Structure 1
Amino acid sequence: MAGYGIETVSVGVKDIILPGDMKIILAQVVEAEKAAQANVIRRREETSATRSLLNTARVMENNPVALRLKEMETLERIAERINKISVVGGLDQILHGLINIQPKI
């Protein structure tokens, strides 16, 4: 190009048009990479959740008040799904009765 009086400073590619098969293969590669990244994120979240549960268990193991609060929180979640509750024997009876529920055979 110097023969025509033009100096080339840089050359770049702006737009590439791939054949149909190459587009499909490239799309599959990108999809596989995204699936792998999602899998890594999912495993990190599962590990984090497991660690949190373990820490909660350790706290409750050494602190009966924390265990009691967790029991009451669970009872509250159960009660949200029930229209009417009749309490006989007090709160202790409910908590211990829930723990000892046996399925009917």
Structure 2
Amino acid sequence: CVLKVENYTLATSLFAQTSLRSVVGESELDDLLSQRDRINHKLRSLIDHATAQWGIKVTAVEVKDVLLPANMQRAMASQAEAERDRRAKIISSEGEKQAATKLAEAATVMAKTSGAMQLRYLQTITQIAIDQNHTIIFPLPLDILKLCYGKGKSV
């Protein structure tokens, strides 16, 4: 196939623009922003193959910048923020899950150990007493309160 091209510069430029539109149109936005080397290589191959018939050798093609409309930039920023929020929630929920698991393990150990609950109770009262509180409420079992008030009085 022999093509007659009089203005090689213009023909190469127009073909490069057409090829760029084609490659950009079939690429994902994330790929355009993150995989420029692959896109540059693909463009160079396409343009070099077509212009080789005209006796032109294309040695380098470089996409320097991808400019997005303002509404697209806002949409991408919103998407990125939503993704960060999602990851933060996952990390937080994983932390809560681990904390709940550790609390359950501690409760199991304390239930098996004689006197562990009384020791924990005393530690808690000590911590409460350190604060500058004026009122301290001691949670006591009802049977102890009944003994304090006498057997005949109701609590």
TM-score range, shorter chain: 0.5 to 0.7
Any residues of structure 2 matched to 1:5-16 within 5 Å, and which? 6-8=58-60, 11-16=61-66
Separation of aligned partners in 2, 1:83 and 1:40: 38
Aligned CA distance change for structure 1 residues 83 and 29 (closer, same or farther; 3 Å) = closer
Length, aligned pairs only: 89
> Once the two structures are aligned, what percentage of the paired residues are identical?
31
Which is higher, the Rg of structure 1 or of structure 2?
2
Separation of aligned partners in 2, 1:35 and 1:74: 36
TM (normalized to structure 2)?
0.48
Correspondence 1:73 to 2:123: yes
Any residues of structure 2 matched to 1:11-26 within 5 Å, and which? 11-26=61-76
Gaps (5+ residues) in structure 2? 1-47, 142-155
Query: What are the Cα deviations for residues 5-40 of structure 1, in whole angstroms up to 9, with x where unaligned?
Result: 5523xx443432211100100000000101110111
Question: With CA pairs under 8 Å and 6+ residues apart, which has the higher RCO, 1 or 2?
Answer: 2
Gaps (5+ residues) in structure 1? 86-93
Separation of aligned partners in 1, 2:93 and 2:62: 40
RMSD: 2.9
